[in-house]
Structure 1
């Protein structure tokens, strides 16, 4: 598991949350999914679905005990604005906001603008590059259709989390998406991480249908401007096709 529940909205982070750059801080995938889980559990008067999530990264998330709170900021009959905070050692490390939209039947007019991907079985096994820390990368199963971790340039990769998010719970489709979506800038980086920083300060995910199944794909690319910042953009897929898009604002500078 990524997190052991302690009760009272507290969670003990496990070593599986560890990010690739430090043994003391987390990859932002699991914390993002934990915030989504808290917002998904907020009650609503009618069936609703989260259609957009923005995760604001205020600082490193330690591999330690965390607390999570969530609230409905703007209730409504058709749309609601939700928020959540993740704290460690008395400091808010990550905030999230989400728009939740009432469910209705639009199957007769459903459409997509993205072509489906080849299945994970056609991808090559992707492993953690030498020098990157164990943890999150090792408990995700990675299959690359194009590009890879540690290879500069765009990448198309499938990922499947091999441990639950919290305890022995089955993660929701949206939780699985957020566990993976923060990896978009990592798999599509254009730069050598030994020489450059390319840190995302946020992650925004827009969905146009609910994700299903264990496998989530990132069809990702990064653009870098001349003034120290850039954007990583990912088309997000499940086995049935595209489900939405993720984007990350990047700080770019030499190490």
Structure 2
């Protein structure tokens, strides 16, 4: 990779009120080469939220709504403090497609105090580490942009294998040029993959796009690898639920959930 392809986004303009970026082809999701995977936009919104939040706080919960396809193009991301406070703080973000001036995603990020040495309960067991996993080829019919931009280490399951899965992930490119990943940005760039990793249906016949994601974190992740132990639940309707336990190499970090819109590929005309 070289030039712009070393990052998910290229910075075009940064002001106190907003950041303008151009998405590279590495953000493209599995359904289309012109629409982004949910992970990079969520990481981008968390980056903007951190720009306006109290720097002494940590992310407790991040919720994003995908209001439509996020194009692989020019975007403006803005964040505002919706609820300031001495202990907790709520920051709201919105992501706008500059070609249409349409808001394509929004997020709400709760920040809490940074405290060490607090009480703890027994965490879920950590899955085998990334060194124990194997790589997998991108399944036929899936666009390769984001999928090729991530290093995958599969402990159980595979994209082309329906059912629960355990996988470790780390992004190959930077989020933006010349800037290291923060732990939360890296995690949010990965956790939207839980629904694909634990796909319960044949991707050639079905789409199961998520309209939103919520991640609850009990501590800051650490290190380059993000682990997902994911499972998708379907109940015979057009709605599904993908849920995942989240890990770094030191242990349990939190949980994520995604609501899925489940439709036969032959019936798809848009969100």
Query: TM above 0.5, one fold?
Result: yes
Contact in 2 for aligned 1:157/1:218 (Cα 8 Å): yes
Counterpart of 1:102 (choices 104, 113, 122) is 113
TM-score normalised by the chain length of structure 2? 0.91
| CA-atom RMSD in angstroms | 1.2
Q: Partners in 1 of 2:129 and 2:202 — Cα distance?
A: 29
The offset of 1:119, in angstroms, is 1.1
Aligned counterpart for 2:24 among listed residues 8, 14, 19: 14
d(CA) in 2 for partners of 1:167 and 1:58?
A: 27
Query: What CA distance in whole angstroms lies between the structure 2 residues aligned with 1:75 and 1:17?
Result: 32
Match of 1:4 in 2: 10
Name the SS for the 1:158 alignment partner. strand
What per-residue deviation string (whole Å, max 9, x for no partner) do you get for residues 107-153 of structure 1?
25223431012111110112311221121100100010000111100
Identify the residue that residue 41 of structure 2 maps to in structure 1.
31
3-state SS in 1 of match to 2:77: strand
| 8 Å contact from structure 1 (residues 112, 242) kept in 2 | no
Contact 2:162 2:199 survives alignment (8 Å): yes
| Partner residue in 2 for 1:235 | 245
Match of 1:41, SS state, is helix
CA distance in 1, matches of 2:216, 2:87: 17
**Among 193, 208, 221, which residue is 1:198 paired with?**
208
Q: In the aligned structure 2, how far is the partner of 1:135 from the partner of 1:226?
A: 31
Aligned pair 1:189/2:195, yes or no?
A: no
Report the 3-state secondary structure (helix = DSSP H, G, I; strand = E; otherwise coil) of the residue aligned with 1:210: coil
Deviation at 1:169, TM superposition (A): 0.7
